[in-house]
């Protein structure tokens, strides 16, 4: 009987230790969860601030009257086949030429649209690879209309 009692006592001690260990683990998990919540709040706050700064910077870039490099470059790549980038830079005659070529593509099975699209793509890439100063001096101040 004493062996059974010792075994029962040992099992009760082990059960008590297991309960105590589980409680400590639960407490530690709760602390970890609180820390994770705080870190997530900090991260979210920093992300909002960064997004706001980025949006403000992008707004300044796209609305800046001084340098239209990014806007003209992106539009040249995306909508160059209809000459949108030329109109952005103030080149009305060149913009109309690309627009007419692009629209003639509907009649010529896309041949003229492909040509005007290629021109827009090349110019968009050129615009985006130039430094801000070079772009401004070449295309806005110097009024170089093609390539």
Tokens encoding 27: 């407490």
* pLDDT tens digits, 12-52: 778 887 788 888 888 888 888 888 788 878 877 787 887 77
| Radius of gyration of the chain, Cα coordinates, nearest whole angstrom | 33
Alpha-carbon separation of residue 37 from 24, 26, 41, 45, 92 (angstroms): 20, 16, 6, 12, 56
Taking the model in full, what pTM does it have? 0.53
Assess contact for 73 and 85: CB atoms under 8 A: yes
More reliable by pLDDT, 43 or 118:
118
Q: Using one digit for the tens of pLDDT, what is the confidence trace for 49-96?
A: 877 777 776 566 544 545 789 999 999 999 988 999 999 999 999 999
């Amino acid at each position: 009987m004493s062996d059974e009692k010792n075994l029962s006592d040992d099992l009760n001690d082990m059960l008590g230790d297991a309960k105590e260990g589980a409680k400590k683990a639960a407490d530690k998990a709760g602390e970890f969860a609180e820390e994770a919540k705080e870190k997530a709040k900090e991260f979210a706050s920093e992300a909002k601030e960064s997004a706001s700064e980025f949006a403000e910077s992008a707004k300044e870039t796209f609305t800046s009257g001084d340098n239209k490099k990014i806007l003209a470059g992106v539009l040249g790549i995306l909508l160059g086949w209809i000459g949108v980038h030329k109109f952005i830079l103030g080149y009305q005659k060149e913009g109309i030429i690309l627009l007419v070529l692009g629209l003639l593509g509907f009649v010529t099975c896309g041949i003229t649209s492909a040509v005007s699209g290629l021109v827009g793509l090349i110019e968009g890439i050129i615009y985006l690879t130039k430094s801000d100063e070079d772009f401004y001096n070449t295309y806005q101040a110097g009024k170089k209309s093609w390539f």
